[in-house]
Amino acid sequence: MRETEGPPALRRLRAFTEWVGAGRKLTATGQITLADARALVTLLETGDVVDPDIGGRVFKTRSSAELSGVLQVFLWAKAIGLVRVVKGRLVPVKKAAPLLARSDALWQAAFETFSQLVEAVCPASESMLYWEFAPVSRALLTRLYGGPAPLTELYELSWERASAPYVIARPEFVRRANDRDTERMLDVLRQLGAIELTGEEVVLTPPGHEAVRCGLGEAGPGEPVYELKVTLLDTDDPVVWRRLRVSAGVPLSRLHRILAATMGWADYHLHVFTAGGQRYGQPSREWDDGLLDETAVTLAEVAGARIGWEYDFGDSWEHELVVERTMEAEDGVAYPVVVAGEGACPPEDCGGTWGYREFRKALADPGHEEHEHLVRWAGLPSAADFDPARFDAETARRAVLRIA
């Protein structure tokens, strides 16, 4: 296999499809036979070790599913549609022949189906990544879209995202397994040519950056970008607002996450957009069947109307979104970009704008009966540590980089 044939992942997919030929018999459980898998280890140069010797003891390989490299190519070829299973045999898909001849199309198909490789990347299902593979992979790629990241940061992000929905009995053991499988995930993306590892830092390659950009609906050079001002209504001294530049084609679902990160909200409450007499959100929610699907509407489609964004239906934080100007995306700039802002984000669950005013009043008065209680409630070392005028653009920028 020659380097000119593309990244290792594509070369293996082509070689595997050619090896399938007119068809190959599978086992009763739908796996490649062990005899064929042994041949594929050499043919595809997967690096798998058959019958490994560990500490002087030989562990017999009993199934091709134990060979993660072979399994990866097998699952990937099926997910892309290069091969399929018919009556216990693996056969090529004839209409996929043009895909094999076009490296760009094959690469895109491999990138889009990467999330289906969980059984090969996390074979023992010991880590939380096994259960949250697709959302974690999106989270890591989204983070890398914002710029290079240290490996340690990606491991931490993977653990945060994968473990969040669960209560874990043995977190240290599971965390080690999660880091191991995250390393494997990143290695598969490296084999595809979507990322590069330089020392302890990871960066998207140009094809990887473009693929993530398209997936996020972010603007490419020359495409429209809006300079957007977000104001938290009914706040004063100072008014809490942010200015950011965001792609016109971003779906409202992603815009919500961008706005929450830019403002400083923790994003664990419900939300809704309003524009042109319509309401957009998550229509599967039982509390409101009248919502239009926010994933199917872009900012550009509602930009001509007055846009409202409400976060937390209990505290009812009402925001106004104003498109101040339209720009062209600059080459080499990853959007969104936080430009400016003023005012600290109020604490979550403080009772809306009325409660926020009372919170500030109590913090400013050491003699207030709620002063000590609210300092402890807000987790502050002292009342002086909350500055209602504070806004750190760099903190907001980092928060935006971590959204997924």
Topology of domain 120-216 in CATH is Arc Repressor Mutant, subunit A (1.10.10)
pLDDT for position 80:
97
- Measured from the Cβ of residue 16, the count of other Cβ atoms closer than 10 Å reads 22
- 273, 256 in Cβ contact below 8 A? yes
Angle, to 10 degrees, between the axis of helix 103-112 and the axis of helix 206-216?
Answer: 60
Average pLDDT for residues 215-233, to the nearest whole number? Answer: 93
pLDDT for position 285:
53
Kindly report each contact of residues 280-288 with a partner whose C-beta sits within 8 Å and lies 24 or more positions away, as own/partner.
Answer: 280/252, 282/253
Average pLDDT for residues 34-51, to the nearest whole number? Answer: 95
Residue 242 scores a pLDDT above 70: yes
| Average pLDDT along the chain | 92
Beta-carbon-side half-sphere exposure of residue 299 (alpha carbons within 13 Å)? 28
Question: What's the pTM value of the predicted model, to 2 decimals?
Answer: 0.75
Beta-carbon-side half-sphere exposure of residue 281 (alpha carbons within 13 Å)? 23
pLDDT for position 1:
35
Q: What is the C-alpha separation between 386 and 368, in angstroms, rounded?
A: 16
pLDDT for position 402:
72
Average pLDDT for residues 299-313, to the nearest whole number? Answer: 95
What ranges do the domains of the chain cover? 1-112, 120-216, 224-344+387-401
- 254, 299 in Cβ contact below 8 A? no
* SS3 state at 14: helix
Q: Does 1-112 carry CATH code 3.30.70?
A: no
Strands 149-150 vs 278-281: parallel, antiparallel or unpaired = unpaired
pLDDT for position 216:
84
Percent of the chain topping pLDDT 90? 81
Strand partners, 274: 279, 308
Instruction: Name the pLDDT band for 2 (thresholds 50, 70, 90).
Output: very low
pLDDT tens digit string along 169-216? Answer: 889 999 999 999 999 999 999 999 999 998 899 999 999 999 998 888
Q: Does 224-344+387-401 carry CATH code 3.30.2320.20?
A: no
Residue 287 scores a pLDDT above 60: no
Please give the sequence-ordered ranges of beta strands (E in DSSP) within 233-372, or none if there are none.
Answer: 241-247, 271-275, 278-281, 292-293, 307-311, 317-328, 337-342
> Do the two domains 1-112 and 120-216 of this chain adopt the same fold?
yes
H or E stretch including 142?
A: helix 133-145
C-alpha triplet 186, 187, 193: angle, nearest 5°: 90
Q: What is the C-alpha separation between 108 and 3, in angstroms, rounded?
A: 19
pLDDT tens digit string along 145-173? Answer: 888 999 999 999 999 999 988 988 889 99
pLDDT tens digit string along 319-348? Answer: 999 999 999 999 878 889 999 999 999 999
